[in-house]
Structure 1
Amino acid sequence: MEKRIVILGAGYAGLVCALQTRKYLNSSDASITIVNKHNYHQLITLLHETAVGARSDRSLRIPLQKVLHDKNVEIKKGTVVKLDPDAKQVKLENDETLTYDLLVVALGSETEYFGIPGLKEHAFTLKSLNQARLLRAHIESCFARYPLEHKRELLRFVVGGAGFSGIELVGEFADALPRLAAEAGVPLELVEIYNVEAAPGILPGFDPELVKTAEESLKARGVRFMTGVPITQVEPGLVHLKSGDTIESETIVWTGGVRGNQIVVDSGLETDPRGRAKVDEHLQSVNHEDVYVLGDCALILNEQGRPYPPTAQLAWQMGAACGKFLYHDIRGGLKEDFKPNIAGAIASLGRKEAIGKIGKSFKTTGKMAYFFKDASNYRYLNKIGSVFTNR
């Protein structure tokens, strides 16, 4: 009898899961429905590039139909509002209800604001193409307004958080601001970029030698780092710091943390305090074995018992593994435990420059590191059967 598989989310984990599942199972084994709020897949690891106009947002948008057109996978555009694992139902925003035999939850994460007053209301975030487009339009507006209003806060840009997302964004800022200033006829020396981080240094937990390289490169291009200084409050045009200092700015972008999807928390799946679903060695919910949880909304622990950081490579590896697990659920056989193979970590520092660690010991910087980052993007696109469009 045909099983009904429903996959929620067409991000890195969900899309790869759909492709791999159909690779192993034909339509007589299972129907596959993938639900996504947009009719396209987003390359969110490159959002920092389109946020400052370095790459067209169209190039980060891959139509789902293009990838899945011959895979016999139903694409349903919709927003999930509720999961009911006990009833095996998913409710969508338009009041449509889907039923399933096996469910894959890959809904991604939400921004963690840590209870900082005003941060959610007054800061930009960078978790979708629409948010990137909004930020880009705002930045361009700031430069266009300055010759008319002469407010210094229009040319002062604050990025909260100095993890990979924050550093990649300030790197793009550093490379894009000279162009934006020239186009608006604004003296470049008036433009300021601040990167504020609560931890003692940038890129917490990353290789110290590479961190030093990144910091030197970014400082040379005008980035001002404020580390060990948490943001305590944000008001319109004003950022308050724990040190008592304030920064007047019309632009604050928050990249300082993520948490699990609230829909998962509300569903009754067992989660940790950060809202990530607890899963077993086969990526199944610990209290609902017919529900798989992948990507940023799943809690995956490393050998030291610490959560893996949410990355695209971890997400699509989970998606690929889940395809095999679904095959065994329907066809039988033993499941192998999921064991991530983290090839390394690379952070771009702007146009054609990056730092990275490949494997356990190989370090790379500059253009070579950027080449490795580009190569990892092409590797992923090859896996899903797509290519970059024109910038």
Structure 2
Amino acid sequence: MKKIVIIGGGYAGIYALRELVKNKNIKITLIDKHTYHNLQPEVYDLIANKSNFADVTIDLTTLCMGFDHNHLEFKNLKVRKIDKKDKKIYTEEKEIVEFDYLILAAGTRTFFPPQVSGLNHADDIKKLHRAIVFKQSFEKQLFEKIKNEAKQCADTRILVVGAGLSGVEIAAEMAYFSNKFFKRGNFSCENLKISLVSSSASILPGLSQQLINISQERLKSLGINIITNTKLEKVEDGYCFLSNGTRINHSFVIFTGGVEASPLTSELDIKTNQKGQVIVNEHMQVLEHENIYAIGDIAEIRNNDDEIMPPNVTIARISGSLAGKNVLKSLENKPLVKTNPKLDGILIALGGEYAAGNLFGLIHVKGKLAYYIKKFVFHSYRRPLLKLINIGYSRFRKFQH
């Protein structure tokens, strides 16, 4: 029985898994260092108290048990080394997992530039546990502010560094949540100040000017200070130093200034780009090894015009599904399918029930309509997974009894 291993239980890994389970005669192992699939785009709702931990995670154990497949298992392991020649995966837990085909879906992490000193003081909210710690710290500071408002009313300053999708969405959600919090309680001490720093000439570089304009207008209406053409140079306790010569005191620094691939890629001795992302062909295969695939954020994926596709859920779906299909086709000695990924569009959460988006490159939407479209897209992904984990949980309970 052929062994297929997926490393990474994120969006791309799940989409690959949904294809692979169609073949009941293979052994599938999903490996992840976490026990849950983090629904990353919804973490900002968690921070803004619009959802809870259960709303932004999918349990991987019960998910795997929910599929109709007798040879599928989830292993909560941390991968340390991959031996391509002997087709073995070595883990921190000393367990060795063998494979015939390997799908790398370990994603990316926030890149902290080494030349910027003091970034250890910054919050990395892409990691769920760090997002929860930040949420708790922020709420504690709000409580302290209210408790002491009769005596003093010190500013709470949040500096969000990086004005791509992540930076814009977190700045908007934090501003909206805070404004709503102070308004609801009629507190006098409501001097929260949020600044968004972009090293580019505008926020959301690479997106349409209309989408940039809509987003910028919304951010300014929320009271967010936008600083462009400026880089973060140094972080010290209580202060950030910017390339424009200004010094900003801060309560929190959230860094979203870039990504790098999982460190797994550096040990594989395969072709990668500057971010550590694996270079793949049109079949999602690693160039040097036909039995190894890379998908989602960990891969540099190009379309037919040789344009690098942005790391998002649409590309994770396309690449993950394609890799799963091509592994099955390889097993059947059938021609592999080529990819030409196209974006369905882009939707940006901008605080509360407000979003902005571009659909299929044809039409721009904003406000509640865009928000409800974004929610529909999210629920259409999450709903079938919830069905599977409910089935898996029922099976799990039966095994326990």
Question: TM (normalized to structure 1)?
Answer: 0.93
The CA deviation at 1:369 is 0.8
> Counterpart in 2 of 1:40?
36
**CA distance in structure 2 between the partners assigned to 1:161 and 1:309 by the alignment:** 16
> Counterpart in 2 of 1:114?
113
1:58 has 2:59 as partner: no
**CA distance in structure 2 between the partners assigned to 1:177 and 1:143 by the alignment:** 9
5+ long unaligned stretches in structure 2: 391-401
The CA deviation at 1:183 is 7.7
* Residue type at the aligned position of 1:362: I
> Counterpart in 1 of 2:75?
76
> 1:180-229 CA deviation, whole Å, 9 max, x = no partner?
44688753541101101110101111111221111111111111101111
Greater displacement, 64-73 / 14-23: 64-73
> Counterpart in 2 of 1:88?
87
> 1:24-50 CA deviation, whole Å, 9 max, x = no partner?
x11x2x100001122221111111111
> Counterpart in 2 of 1:209?
210
> Counterpart in 2 of 1:342?
343
1:99 has 2:94 as partner: no
Instruction: Report if the CA contact (8 A) 2:6-2:102 is conserved.
Output: yes
Instruction: Report if the CA contact (8 A) 2:59-2:389 is conserved.
Output: no
**CA distance in structure 1 between the partners assigned to 2:378 and 2:52 by the alignment:** 16
Alpha-carbon distance change, 116 to 180 in structure 1, aligned in 2, over 3 angstroms: farther
Instruction: Report if the CA contact (8 A) 1:158-1:249 is conserved.
Output: yes
> 1:220-240 CA deviation, whole Å, 9 max, x = no partner?
111110111111111122111
Alpha-carbon distance change, 150 to 20 in structure 1, aligned in 2, over 3 angstroms: farther
Alpha-carbon distance change, 121 to 8 in structure 1, aligned in 2, over 3 angstroms: same
Q: Note the aligned Cα RMSD (angstroms).
A: 2.1
> 1:115-159 CA deviation, whole Å, 9 max, x = no partner?
342353110012232122111011112212334495735x11111
**CA distance in structure 2 between the partners assigned to 1:241 and 1:387 by the alignment:** 48
Instruction: Report if the CA contact (8 A) 1:83-1:264 is conserved.
Output: no
- Which runs of structure 2 are paired with 1:162-181 in the superposition (5 Å)? 162-181=163-182
Alpha-carbon distance change, 282 to 193 in structure 1, aligned in 2, over 3 angstroms: same
Greater displacement, 252-261 / 186-195: 186-195
**CA distance in structure 2 between the partners assigned to 1:117 and 1:277 by the alignment:** 26
5+ long unaligned stretches in structure 1: none
> Counterpart in 2 of 1:124?
123
**CA distance in structure 1 between the partners assigned to 2:307 and 2:195 by the alignment:** 30
**CA distance in structure 2 between the partners assigned to 1:77 and 1:387 by the alignment:** 19
**CA distance in structure 1 between the partners assigned to 2:257 and 2:214 by the alignment:** 21
> Counterpart in 2 of 1:152?
154
**CA distance in structure 2 between the partners assigned to 1:204 and 1:68 by the alignment:** 38
Secondary structure in 1 aligned to 2:319? Answer: helix
**CA distance in structure 1 between the partners assigned to 2:208 and 2:222 by the alignment:** 22
Instruction: Report if the CA contact (8 A) 1:109-1:261 is conserved.
Output: yes
Alignment length, in residue pairs? 384
* Residue type at the aligned position of 2:113: F
* Residue type at the aligned position of 2:6: I
Question: TM (normalized to structure 2)?
Answer: 0.90
Instruction: Report if the CA contact (8 A) 1:54-1:176 is conserved.
Output: no
**CA distance in structure 2 between the partners assigned to 1:241 and 1:144 by the alignment:** 29
> 1:67-119 CA deviation, whole Å, 9 max, x = no partner?
32243320111111222223312111112111111111100102112334235
* Residue type at the aligned position of 2:379: Y
The CA deviation at 1:302 is 3.2
Secondary structure in 2 aligned to 1:104? Answer: strand
**CA distance in structure 1 between the partners assigned to 2:108 and 2:37 by the alignment:** 16
Alpha-carbon distance change, 119 to 255 in structure 1, aligned in 2, over 3 angstroms: farther
Secondary structure in 2 aligned to 1:152? Answer: coil
Alpha-carbon distance change, 191 to 7 in structure 1, aligned in 2, over 3 angstroms: same
* Residue type at the aligned position of 1:68: C
- Which runs of structure 2 are paired with 1:1-391 in the superposition (5 Å)? 2-23=1-22, 25-26=23-24, 28=25, 30-71=26-67, 72=69, 73-146=72-145, 147-148=147-148, 150=152, 152=154, 155-181=156-182, 186-187=187-188, 189-382=190-383, 384=385, 386=387
Instruction: Report if the CA contact (8 A) 1:282-1:325 is conserved.
Output: yes
Greater displacement, 241-250 / 80-89: 80-89
Greater displacement, 69-78 / 112-121: 112-121
Greater displacement, 9-18 / 55-64: 55-64
The CA deviation at 1:60 is 0.8
The CA deviation at 1:381 is 2.1
> 1:264-296 CA deviation, whole Å, 9 max, x = no partner?
122212111110001111111111221111111
Greater displacement, 245-254 / 298-307: 298-307
* Residue type at the aligned position of 1:63: D
Secondary structure in 2 aligned to 1:69? Answer: helix
Greater displacement, 358-367 / 63-72: 63-72
* Residue type at the aligned position of 2:83: D
Instruction: Report if the CA contact (8 A) 2:11-2:316 is conserved.
Output: yes
* Residue type at the aligned position of 1:235: E
